[in-house]
Amino acid sequence: MRFALRTALRRARRGRLIERYLADHDLRKLQLGAAEHVLPGWLNTDLHGYGRDDVVYLDVRKRFPLPDASFDLIYSEHMIEHLTWAEGQHCLRECLRVLRPGGTMRVATPSLERLAGLYDGSVASERYLQWAADTLDPEVDMPLPGVAINNFFRSWGHRFLYDPQTLRHALLEAGFVDVEDAPLGELERHLAETPEFRQLETFALEAKRAR
């Protein structure tokens, strides 16, 4: 009941927050699934508010309450994997709609390819598997690749995990062009305190809306 009330209040005020942001910013940047990682100068949005007044309510499974061609940059980190493939395609098409021609979409998400690489027996993989067993509360308390991969699929509400080839296909299917690999940078905050594991878990792609 409390969640429903908070959601209703956030929905009631989001129009004013969006109008204010669009009026105050010529360079417009939209973050989807911001959680608690609020970026200065961005319109930070999320399904959940996390107790913050500066995170605007937005359900990416529905039409965005945003004008066509109104943003220069859209960013999401560890969000799209919480959607089904069909929901992810809807989200990407909405992103394309609200991007200005030549605008950029940046997506950072868990790497299914690198998770499969846990079987390679490298020192980095062994350290990650031990860390995952110690901290991620898997069903089986053993540092094994199969345990970590099952946990990644079944935990945290994940619905569809991507590798670079599949995400590239998703972006092209949604209508984006010029899809490129992107090195992880300052925007990516997932596991920022452990760069070795961040590189293992996360990859990023950037794509453009055609001019």
| Residue 193 resides in a domain | no
Above pLDDT 90, what percent of the chain?
Answer: 71
- What pLDDT does residue 4 have? 77
Average pLDDT over residues 139-149: 91
- Rounded (5°) CA angle 179-185-188: 90
Rg, Å, the chain Cα set: 18
Verify that 18 and 55 share a domain, yes or no. yes
How many of the other CB atoms lie within 10 Å of CB of 102?
A: 11
- What pLDDT does residue 197 have? 85
- What pLDDT does residue 18 have? 97
**Structure token pair of residue 169:** 């296909």
Residue type, 35: A
Domain that holds residue 149: 112-157
Above pLDDT 70, what percent of the chain?
Answer: 100
Spatial CA neighbour of 85 closest among 176, 158, 164: 158
Q: At residue 2, does pLDDT exceed 80?
A: no
Instruction: Give all strands of the β-sheet with 29-32 in edge-to-edge order.
Output: 56-57, 43-46, 29-32, 71-77, 99-110, 202-208, 177-182
DSSP 3-state of 128: helix
Number of domains in the chain: 2
- What pLDDT does residue 167 have? 98
Verify that 31 and 52 share a domain, yes or no. yes
Verify that 80 and 92 share a domain, yes or no. yes
Residue 107's DSSP bridge partners are 76, 205
**Structure token pair of residue 158:** 């994940």
How does the average pLDDT of the chain come out, rounded?
93
User: To which residue do tokens 């031990």 refer?
Assistant: 130
Verify that 57 and 143 share a domain, yes or no. no
**Structure token pair of residue 150:** 């099952």
Average pLDDT over residues 80-106: 98
The model's pTM: 0.93
Average pLDDT over residues 61-76: 98
Cβ–Cβ < 8 Å for 92, 176: yes
Spatial CA neighbour of 74 closest among 120, 125, 31, 133: 31
pLDDT classification of 142: cutoffs 50, 70, 90: very high
Cβ–Cβ < 8 Å for 103, 96: no
Q: At residue 77, does pLDDT exceed 70?
A: yes
Verify that 94 and 175 share a domain, yes or no. yes
Average pLDDT over residues 103-129: 93
- What pLDDT does residue 68 have? 98
For the domain that residue 23 is a member of, what is the CATH number?
3.40.50.150
Verify that 96 and 182 share a domain, yes or no. yes
Q: At residue 47, does pLDDT exceed 70?
A: yes
- What pLDDT does residue 32 have? 98
Verify that 70 and 118 share a domain, yes or no. no
